[in-house]
């Protein structure tokens, strides 16, 4: 039944590295490297580049679907770039604001929740860590059931962090002072900070719930394994 007149070309391993979405991924990495190299000398350029990298994140997903070039490597590249860029932004915020423990904690929560969630997704065999259908928590269901709400919370975090960085004037800002002052102003910036602060808080609560759910999944996995003959 094999048609010998038209031999199928062997897919080359090189081609995945040259997929369009993955090339956009490399551009994202370069944008981030340059952005963090100049972040203290030019805050506005940093913010623009960081935002551009965020836009590329959406574009490469669209390209993957449009050109049918989805790949596991691309998904991992995306995930890792997201984690590292958020981590580095939290690091520079911890340098600018006191107490830095706030941003250390946010960094710890970001790493822990994403790591646990990914691990438990692999164990449970879910298609994506974003496909959580079996949780009883109402906030969890709202977050994962409604992609707009999820998108709002994720974007809110990034917007808040960038805004905090842009607002800061020197290297020893008191975080509570700055936030309260900004909110009291009543300017468009106040509204932006207020809305993104709300979304970011929701995201952190989700992160904590996610850690508990993922930990339960790990425990359940072991329990079921022991019960099977």
> Which two three-digit tokens encode residue 26?
């490399």
DSSP 71-108: -HHHHHHHHHHHHHHHHHHHHHHHHHEE-THHHHHHHH
Residues between 110 and 169 with contacts to a second copy, criterion CB under 8 A: 111-112, 115-116, 118-119, 122-127
Beta carbons of 217 and 122 less than 8 angstroms apart? no
Beta carbons of 183 and 190 less than 8 angstroms apart? yes
CB of 188 to a second copy, least distance (A): 32
- Letters for 11-30 (x = contact with a second copy by CB under 8 A, - = none) are x-x--xx-------------
215 sits near a second copy (criterion: CB under 8 A): yes
Please tell me which residue in 57, 60, 78, 82 is annotated as part of the active site.
Answer: 82
7 sits near a second copy (criterion: CB under 8 A): no
Residues 99, 160: Cα–Cα separation, whole Å: 17
Residues 112, 77: Cα–Cα separation, whole Å: 19
Interface residue with a second copy among 27, 43, 57, 71 (CB under 8 A) is: 71
219 sits near a second copy (criterion: CB under 8 A): yes
57 among known catalytic residues: no
Residues 139, 141: Cα–Cα separation, whole Å: 5
Q: Give residue 186's region: left, alpha or beta (phi > 0; psi -120 to 50).
A: left
Considering only 52-60, 173-181, 184-192, 215-223, which stretch makes contact with a second copy by CB under 8 A? Answer: 215-223
Residues that bind a second copy (CB under 8 A): 1, 8, 10-11, 13, 16-17, 36-37, 71-73, 75-77, 79-80, 83-84, 87-88, 91-92, 94-95, 100-101, 104, 107-108, 111-112, 115-116, 118-119, 122-127, 215-216, 218-223, 225-227
Question: Annotated catalytic sites, by residue?
Answer: 82
């Amino acid at each position: 039944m094999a048609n010998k007149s038209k031999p199928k070309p062997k897919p080359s391993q090189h081609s995945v590295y040259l997929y369009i979405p993955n090339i956009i991924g490399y551009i994202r990495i370069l944008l981030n490297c340059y952005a963090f190299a100049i972040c203290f000398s030019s805050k506005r350029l940093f913010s623009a580049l960081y935002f551009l990298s965020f836009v590329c994140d959406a574009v490469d997903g669209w390209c993957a679907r449009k050109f049918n070039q989805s790949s596991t490597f691309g998904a991992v590249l995306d995930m890792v770039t997201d984690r590292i860029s958020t981590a580095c932004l939290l690091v520079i915020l911890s340098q600018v604001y006191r107490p830095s423990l706030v941003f250390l904690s946010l960094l710890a929560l970001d790493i822990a929740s994403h790591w646990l969630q990914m691990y438990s997704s692999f164990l449970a065999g879910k298609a994506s860590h974003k496909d959580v259908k079996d949780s009883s928590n109402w906030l969890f269901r709202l977050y994962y059931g409604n992609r707009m709400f999820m998108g709002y919370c994720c974007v809110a975090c990034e917007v808040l962090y960038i805004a905090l960085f842009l607002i800061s004037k020197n290297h020893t800002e008191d975080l509570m002072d700055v936030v309260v002052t900004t909110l009291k102003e009543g300017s468009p910036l106040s509204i932006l900070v207020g809305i993104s602060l709300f979304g970011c808080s929701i995201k952190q609560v989700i992160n904590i719930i996610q850690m508990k759910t993922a930990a339960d999944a790990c425990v359940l996995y072991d329990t079921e394994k022991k019960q099977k003959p």
